[in-house]
Amino acid sequence: MVGTIRKTPVIDYLLIVIGTTILAIAINLFFDDLGMVIGGVTGIAIIIKKVTESVVTGGIPIWITNLVINVPLFLTAIFVKGKSFGRRSIFATFYLSLALYLTQGMPSITEDILLGCIFGGVLTGIGLGLVFYALATTGGTDLAASIIQHFVNYISIAKIMMFLDGIIIAFGFFVFGPEKTMYALISVYISVKVIDAILEGMSFAKAAFIITEKEEEITNEIFCKLERGLTGLHGEGMYTGISKKVLLCVVSQRQIVLLKEIVRSHDKNAFVIVADVREVLGEGFIE
């Protein structure tokens, strides 16, 4: 799992190489092959390849367009923002063009557009998640948004990126049609969720907040049966004005059922809040 990797510069660059290679495979194998545009410079490249098929045999390759667009973007970024975008992003962007070149012409593995949008979204999420985890980007619309935001700093980079990607997807609508555009949006949603899982961690757990009059009995049994620690938080009922102790306990997903049974056996009137926890660091979880 990415969240447990001890990061060094060598590991960062290795993650960038692996991530951009996976991203290139997703672009060539699914999005280009099935005609889906999910935004970004590679989305522009897919559109250009399609519209130039009548001029150039097979259209202008994606890797060339990616390189041609990103080089002036980086030169502009150097002039406007100095070295703020980092060496890792330069490496990631140029290696992505190389990976797109090396993976072009891969044999198609499916003609089902739904399968393509799902697996393409998953691979894109994994690839970009690894790159972002290495504190890099692949250039494109995020770099362009950063440059534009330098001049219109009252607009966030995220909003500018959303606007730029929206324009690219809209062009994809006119080139490939509404159906493939809708599938592309599904793929974008999937990739975002996968990126979040990689960046936020995949060690899912449950956090239980327990408000009860039987805190000692419940605490002792959780200690014995689940071997989990608890933290007592001080709370006060805003309606009654009565001070109460709130027990906080983080357990694995398979332990949450037993925890609720323990609470119920001691206090049927206990108030229990169960929340999803994305990642837990510390004793009993990820060291």
Q: Return the C-alpha torsion angle 265, 271, 276, 281, nearest 10.
A: -80
End position of a domain, from candidates 183, 200, 217: 200
Q: Are residues 238 and 188 in the same domain?
A: no
Cα angle 80, 86, 91; round to 5:
115
Q: Which of 6, 50, 21 is nearest to 138 (CA)?
A: 21
- The answer to whether residue 105 sits within a structural domain is yes
| Tens digits of residue pLDDT in 205-259 | 889 999 998 889 999 999 988 888 899 998 888 888 888 889 999 988 888 989 9
* The predicted structure's pLDDT at residue 202: 58
Q: Are residues 180 and 271 in the same domain?
A: no
Q: Are residues 59 and 188 in the same domain?
A: yes
- The identity of residue 5, as a single letter, is I
End position of a domain, from candidates 200, 215, 241: 200
Q: Are residues 227 and 96 in the same domain?
A: no
Q: What are phi and psi of 243, to 5 degrees?
A: -75, 135
Kindly tell me if the per-residue pLDDT of 1 is higher than 60.
no
pTM: 0.70
The two structure tokens encoding residue 103: 């993976």
* Average pLDDT for 151-175: 81
Q: How far is CA 135 from CA 14, 16, 188, 199, in A?
A: 12, 9, 21, 11
Q: Are residues 77 and 21 in the same domain?
A: yes
119 sits in the region (left: phi over 0; alpha: psi -120 to 50; else beta) called: alpha
Kindly tell me if the per-residue pLDDT of 279 is higher than 80.
no
- The number of folded domains in the chain is 2
- The answer to whether residue 284 sits within a structural domain is no
| Tens digits of residue pLDDT in 70-115 | 888 888 877 776 665 567 888 888 899 999 999 988 888 888 999 9
* Average pLDDT for 131-146: 80
Q: What are phi and psi of 85, to 5 degrees?
A: -80, -15
- The answer to whether residue 285 sits within a structural domain is no
* The predicted structure's pLDDT at residue 122: 94
pLDDT above 70 as % of the chain: 91
CA distance 3 to 286: 9
pLDDT averaged over every residue in the chain? 84
Give the 3-state secondary structure of 63-131. HHHHHHHHHHHHHHHHHHHCCCCCHHHHHHHHHHHHHHHHHCCCCCCCCCHHHHHHHHHHHHHHHHHHH
Helix (H, G, I), strand (E, B) or coil at 180: helix
CA distance 93 to 73: 11
Kindly tell me if the per-residue pLDDT of 20 is higher than 90.
yes
Domain that holds residue 248: 205-277
End position of a domain, from candidates 166, 185, 200: 200
pLDDT above 90 as % of the chain: 31
